[in-house]
Amino acid sequence: MIENFSFLSAIILLPFVGMLFTLFSREDADGNSRNAFNVAFLSVCANLLLVLRIFSNMDLQENGLQLVERFNWLENPNIDIILGADTFSIVMIMSVHFSFLIGMFGARESQHLKSMMIFALIFLGMLTGFFLSADIFSFYIFFEAMLFPLFMLIGIFGDIRRDGIIYRFFLYNFFGAVLLFLAVIMLFNLHDGFLDIHKYDTLKHQSSLGIFVLLAIFISCLSRIPIWPFHYWISSISANIRSPLVFILTNLLPLTGLYGFMRFLPNNFHSSLVYGVTILEIIAVITMIFIALIGFINRDVQYKLFSYITVYYIMYLLSIINEDGLSIMNVAFSCFAFIIIISVLEILSGYLHLEQENKGLSPDGILCSAPRISFIYSFFILAAMGLPVSSLFVNNFLIVSQLIEENLQIGLIVVFSLTLTAGSLLKDYYRLKDRNHTSPNKPCIEDISLWRYAFGLIMILILLYSSIKPLWFLGA
């Protein structure tokens, strides 16, 4: 019976079921939404277990889609919804679930916790569905539908400038949505009811319409990646949202762009696309340096994190563009560590920000009196620097080697940008640790609780172990 169980549909649906339970959960007498949090937490944990179960059903040596599930949606025109997974997509889903769990720990004390959990679970379900979509329609639907919960989250948890942020968010994503919609319709009509994304590479893109379709898909994917000029909406959200979970979810969105690129980028470019790819590479490296430099001078830790995230996403994009058949899994393993690192750094900086606000402190020297948070923070900063304490090190090494092999200048610019963003995070960390700004009379922040500390230590162990066993959860 277990063989016939639709695991992929289940991991898409479970967050929605969790969302329904969260929706109907009762609040405490004093208005706390602890029940909602617990239900959401359990849903994500259950889903994570299901994801692990899926892994045990997969053959990791096989490259193609596995565990395919097909549902007929429309008879005329004949449209099927196809779900399928490969190792890359499941590693992405794992990463997203981990970061979601980490983000939940940061959001535990938030106001409007129930609404946050509801929309966050919808987003998680959509994102999971996106990574499992194997046909162009479900790809499009999940690609666009995940914006709705994010839109709501930004609207509810944004700061006083939320109108401007939502405007930018809508504008950029609307642009991408229209293009992707056109591309999907044209793809379906031009190629006689084409559906399966994984067979996209077999299509011929010689006609100008075919090239337009490809460009439309790429531009819509680019609108999700913080590459110039699309970086602006994500940077606005990152700099103006103080809720760690919303920050984390927003910064997971570029993964969808990368995934789109990975799925649709043909192995052999049409000659007219080669120039486009070169231009894209140039824009990418310029954006990388540009954002890294701005992150270096900016004093806002959220922006520094954003610049760090941007540099990594662009590095992954460059790696996917220059993919040689082997580097995709390096991107996945690096991404796994990267997402955990940024999520933990974000919840820690969110916690510090909250403490600062509550006690009216300046950030300088704030970590001196909190050894637990200081240790966790320092470890994750070291990991973020790319030192060999996580799978970032070896996988970044392979990605950078691959980029250098393709183009030395690009490879060196990537290394320079990585150094600059790591330096900017370090600069911020040492500002928080600067003992010269502390005095005995100054109030101190409260250190993180023991169970949060334990959670941080578990994350450290996962990172350390994943550096030598990237698929540790399988023993593979």
Partner 1 sequence: MISGLFILSLLSGFSGAILSRERYARFVSFLIATISLALLCNLFQNMQDGFAQPAIWSLLDYKQIHINLNLSSNAHNYSVLFPFLIMTFLSLLYTYFVPKEERRGRLSSLMLVSSAFLMLPICSDNFVVLVVGSSLCGISGIYIINDFSGKKNYVFYTLVADMSLFAAMGIIYSSTSNTDLDTLSYYAQTNQHTELTSLLLLLGIGIKSGLFLFHNQIFSYANLKFNRLIFMNYCVAPACGLVIFSKTAVLLSPNHIGGSILLILSFCSILYGVIGGLIYDNLKEKALCLNMLLWGFFFAVSILFPIINFSIFSWIFVLFFLINLWIAMVSQSCSEEIYISRLGGTWKKLPQLLLIAPILTVALSQQILTQVDSCGWLGWGLIVILLVIIPYLMHQIFLGRCECDEMVWAFMHSPSLFLLFPLYALPLFLIFQYQFSWELVIIFAIVILLTLINPLQVLSNLYERDDIQLSDFFERFYEVVLLAPLSILGRVLWLTVDFLLIERTILSSILHFRNILINFSAQMHSCQLIGYLLTIGLGLGIILILGVIY
Out of 415, 444, 462, 464, which residue is the one contacting partner 1 (CB under 8 A)?
415
- Segment contacting partner 1 by CB under 8 A, of 92-100, 131-139, 345-353, 419-427: 419-427
Out of 25, 128, 402, 466, which residue is the one contacting partner 1 (CB under 8 A)?
402
- Cα(197)–Cα(326) distance, integer angstroms: 20
Q: What 3-state class would DSSP assign to 385? A: coil
* Cβ pair 9, 86 in contact under 8 A: no
Q: What 3-state class would DSSP assign to 277? A: helix
Confirm or reject binding of residue 420 to partner 1 (CB under 8 A): yes
Confirm or reject binding of residue 350 to partner 1 (CB under 8 A): no
- C-alpha torsion 294→337→346→290, nearest 10: 10
Number of residues that bind partner 1 (CB under 8 A): 50
Residues 6+ positions from 393 with CB-CB distance below 8 Å: 386, 387, 467
What DSSP line would sit under 11-51, residue for residue?
HHHHHHHHHHHHHHPPPPTTS--HHHHHHHHHHHHHHHHHH
Confirm or reject binding of residue 450 to partner 1 (CB under 8 A): no
Out of 65, 166, 412, 444, which residue is the one contacting partner 1 (CB under 8 A)?
412
Confirm or reject binding of residue 418 to partner 1 (CB under 8 A): yes
Q: How many CB atoms lie within 10 A of CB 163?
A: 10
**Closest approach of partner 1 to the CB of residue 395, in Å:** 9
Give the helix/strand (H/E) hosting 125: helix 113-132
Would you say 22 or 396 has its CB closer to partner 1? 396
What DSSP line would sit under 216-234, residue for residue?
HHHHHHHTTTT-TTTHHHH
**Closest approach of partner 1 to the CB of residue 316, in Å:** 16
Out of 17, 388, 447, 472, which residue is the one contacting partner 1 (CB under 8 A)?
388
Confirm or reject binding of residue 219 to partner 1 (CB under 8 A): no
Confirm or reject binding of residue 161 to partner 1 (CB under 8 A): no
Would you say 214 or 348 has its CB closer to partner 1? 348
Give the helix/strand (H/E) hosting 273: helix 271-297
Q: Can you name the residues that pair with 158 across neighbouring β-strands? A: 241
Out of 212, 228, 453, 465, which residue is the one contacting partner 1 (CB under 8 A)?
228
Binding mask 303-322 for partner 1 (x = CB under 8 A): --------------------
Confirm or reject binding of residue 73 to partner 1 (CB under 8 A): no
- Tokens standing for residue 378: 């320092």
Please report, as ranges, the residues that interact with partner 1 according to CB under 8 A. 167-168, 171, 228-229, 232, 235, 290, 293-298, 326, 329-330, 378, 382, 385-389, 393-394, 396-398, 400-402, 404-405, 408, 411-412, 415, 418-420, 422-423, 426, 430, 433-436, 468
